[in-house]
Structure formats: structure tokens, C-alpha cells
Amino acid sequence: MHRIVVVGGGAGGLELATKLGKTLGRGGIANVTLVDCNLTHIWKPLLHEVAAGSLDAATEELSYVAQAKWNHFDFIYGRMTGLDRQRRAIKLAGWKGTYGEVDVPPVEVPYDTLVMAVGSVCNDFGTPGVREHCIFLDSRSDAERLRQEMLERRLAATAHGRSSSLRVAVIGGGATGVELSAELRDVNRKLVHYQGRHGTVEDLEVTLIEAGPRLLSALPERIGLSVENELRNKLGIRVLTGTTIKRAEADGLFDAQGNKIPADMMVWAAGIRAPAFLRELDGLESNRIDQWVVRPTLQTTRDENIFAFGDCAACPLDDSGAGNVPPRAQAAHQQADLLARNLRLRLEGKPLIAYRYQDHGSLVSLASFNTFGNLLGNRTIEGRAAHFFYASLYRMHQSALYGNWGTLRLMVGSIIARNTRPVLKLH
């Protein structure tokens, strides 16, 4: 039986494995295997909410083992470290158990078709001190670290019967940085309800730093300017544009002019790159940010048996050579749909379909304050209508994983449980 191995259980990878399992796996046409170094999945655009404490990851995470059982594919827990294209096998690192005497040696997983969907990580551009002193938002563990550190600082201040101002600097004025900054302000406002006399809305100072001339450079200028105005004047966030960070230290950041931006906590959300282990792995072509270069069919340029999509792939936007598909969740979703069809066509010996990016617009949420965006590339919306479409993006992802009825049950369950949970994760 044909062996399809999907590496990476992010939004695109898990959606693809689920689709392939329901069709090729269930029908006995192919054996589908998903490989990931985590046991659970959470939608990456939610990480800023997990980091702020407004979302409990435990209520939203999905077990890979359970999803595999429900959708007729296999799951292997492991971290990919190598590739042998001649033997058609990927290499997984060994691991040891934390509590028991479990010692799993390195293993190989054979494939006939390999699909890489390992996403992206933050790009620190080699800036000195960033790795040592800044928190990233690449994974759930990163988000939990940020949330836990902020919570501990708050509890320490409460234990001493005082309100201590906490200075947080967020580097990167894209969607992640903007949404995290707004979420932190919103959560701080709600935290007063639980802290009583020891908390005030003003005890959190958030500074958002962007190297470019404006925020949200991927969106129309009018949206970027509206968001910046909202952050400055309504949320009280200090916004610094045209500010390039050249160095990070334990107590703050330094810009290109040598000016210091004091901070107790620093979050790096500027730029992306593919995981470094992909760089020219077994001779495959990669670009300057380690993405695998792929054809419009999403096949790698040097091996037609290997596909890549999502943030880890450099896929041409069109035939003009004008650039690559932007690293957005909607692109990964579209490519997962296309690959589900293309892999079936491949097994049938038929020509593959070329991917063409469809820009359905982008949305950015300022927590409970406001939502801005553009639909179909030119229609600007904000307020409740924009928030509805923003929330629907996650429901679409859930629908791809659970089906429509399953997603409806999740929505109803969430509404029922709303009054039995605190509005913030406080532990």
C-alpha cells in the first residue's frame, strides 16, 4: 500500500492528514501517517490569547492520537532530524521518558510520498541578545511561559500588598504583535476584578515596536493607521514605528541610535523563517529563510516525491515571478485542500493541479476592543461585523477537523461552560 507521511501537525498538516485519512486511509487506498513532536494541537493564531491568559489551551487542544483514531490515519510521536531521499525514509530523534525507564532510540519512517508542513518560527535576524532575553510565540509552551511569568509577577506584587508596574515590550508590528499587545491590555483590565484593591488598569505598560514606517504592512494603509490610532489613543499602548532593534539585554532593548527602551519582559514577534533543520536537507533546494522551494504543484524542485506547503514552503505566487505566496493561515488551508486532491491524482497517475493563491482578505483583532480587516482584497470592515468574520476563521479550522456537527457541538459546549470558568486562566 502507498505510504504517505505528513510531517507537522499544525493547521495545514493536521487538516491534510484528516482529509487524507477520511478518503485514502478509510478506503484502504493508502496508509497515511502524521508525525509531530507534540501530543496535542492548538491553532497557532490563538497563541497570543494563550500567552495573555484569556484562553485556556487545555480546553481548545486536540489530541493527535484521538484524531488519528477517528479519521483513519496513524500518528507517530517524534521530532524529525534527517532525510534519506535515496532510501525514502525520514529520521526521527530518540527520546527518553520523564518518569519511567523509557528509552526510545532514533528511528526511521519509510515513505512513498512525503509532505512537509512544519510551519515557521520567529526570525530574530541574528540580533544580539534576543535568544537569551526575549520570549517567542512559536509554540504552546512559549505562550504558556509568557503567561506564567506574567502571572507570577502579578501574584508576587499582590503578596506584598502593592501594585507594581510591569513593562512589556513587543517587537514586531504584524498581526501577532498587534493582537498580543491588545490582548495584554484587555487581560490586565479584567485582572482588576480578581485582584481587588491591589490592581489597576494602569499597572501594565505595553510598548509595541515596529521597524517599518507603520503597523500591519501586509494590510492596506488605512487599516494600519486605524489600528495604530486605536492602540495609542484608546488602549494606551506606546507605539514606536521606524524603530529597529539592534540589541537586547536583560532589562531592555536598544535601537539603531543607541536609545534604550526599558522592559521587564520582551516578546519577539518580528519576522518568520522555516525551521533551520530544513536548510538544504539531503540536497533539497531552500531559500534564505530556509523554506523549501516548491513548484506550483507544491512538489519540491529536486524531488517529485516530496511536497511542502504552508509557511515552510516558498511557493510562487504566479507565473510572473512576482514573489511567493504569503505566509498566512488561509494559504495553508487552501494548499491542504489542493494537496488532498493532488495526492489522489498522483496515485491515479493523473496530472497534478497547480496552486493559485486566493486572497480572501485579512483580519486583526484588538481583543474585546475592536476588530479591523479587509475582505476580498478591497472591502474594509471593522467592529462587530469584522469580529464575526474573525471568529469564523477558527470555526472553519474546527470544521475541517471535526466536521460541521462536531464543531456545532463544541460551540454549544463552550457556551454552556462559560459561566463555570473564570474569564482568565489564573493558574
pTM over 0.85: yes
pLDDT band at 361 (very low <50, low <70, confident <90, very high): confident
pLDDT (tens digit per residue) in 160-185: 655 568 899 999 999 999 999 999 99
Question: What percent of the chain lies above the pLDDT cut of 90?
Answer: 73
pLDDT band at 236 (very low <50, low <70, confident <90, very high): very high
Query: Where do the domains of the chain lie?
Result: 2-120+274-351, 129-270
Type and span of the H or E element at 7: strand 2-7
Query: Who's near 165: CB < 8 A, 6+ residues apart?
Result: 202, 203, 204, 205
For 144-213, the DSSP string reads HHHHHHHHHHHHHHHHTTS---EEEEEE--SHHHHHHHHHHHHHHHHHHHHHGGG--GGGEEEEEE-SSS
First to last CA, the chain: 48
Give, to the nearest 10 degrees, the angle between helix 11-20 and helix 384-417: 70
Interior/surface letters 206-232, b for 16+ CB within 10 angstroms, e for the rest: bbbbbbbebbbeebbeebbebbbebbe
For 94-127, the DSSP string reads -EE-SSSS-EEPPEEEE-SEEEE----EE--TT-
Question: Would you say residue 194 has pLDDT above 80?
Answer: no
Question: Would you say residue 405 has pLDDT above 70?
Answer: yes
The architecture that CATH gives domain 129-270 is 3-Layer(bba) Sandwich (3.50)
Distance CA 362, CA 377 (A): 8
Question: What percent of the chain lies above the pLDDT cut of 70?
Answer: 95
Same fold, 2-120+274-351 and 129-270: yes
pLDDT band at 203 (very low <50, low <70, confident <90, very high): confident
Give the model's pLDDT for residue 214: 95
Distance CA 413, CA 191 (A): 25
Assign domain 2-120+274-351 one CATH number from 3.30.365.10, 3.50.50.60, 2.30.30.40, 1.10.3470.10.
3.50.50.60
Nearest Cα to Cα of residue 371 among 362, 380, 382: 382
pLDDT band at 82 (very low <50, low <70, confident <90, very high): very high
pLDDT band at 197 (very low <50, low <70, confident <90, very high): very low
Query: Who's near 346: CB < 8 A, 6+ residues apart?
Result: 113, 352
Type and span of the H or E element at 11: helix 11-20
pLDDT (tens digit per residue) in 28-56: 999 999 999 999 999 999 999 999 988 88
Question: Would you say residue 331 has pLDDT above 90?
Answer: yes
- Residue 256 amino acid letter: A
Burial class (CB within 10 angstroms; exposed 0-12, middle 13-18, buried 19+) of 147? buried
- Calculate the average pLDDT of the chain: 91
Partners of 114 in the β-ladder: 5, 306
Give the model's pLDDT for residue 103: 85
Query: Who's near 314: CB < 8 A, 6+ residues apart?
Result: 287, 291, 292, 293, 294, 324
Q: What is the CA radius of gyration of the chain?
A: 22
Q: Rounded to whole angstroms, what are the CA distances from 24 to 3, 82, 109?
A: 10, 27, 19
Q: Say whether 319 sits in a helix, a strand or coil.
A: coil
Cβ(180)–Cβ(45) below 8 Å: no
Give the model's pLDDT for residue 163: 59
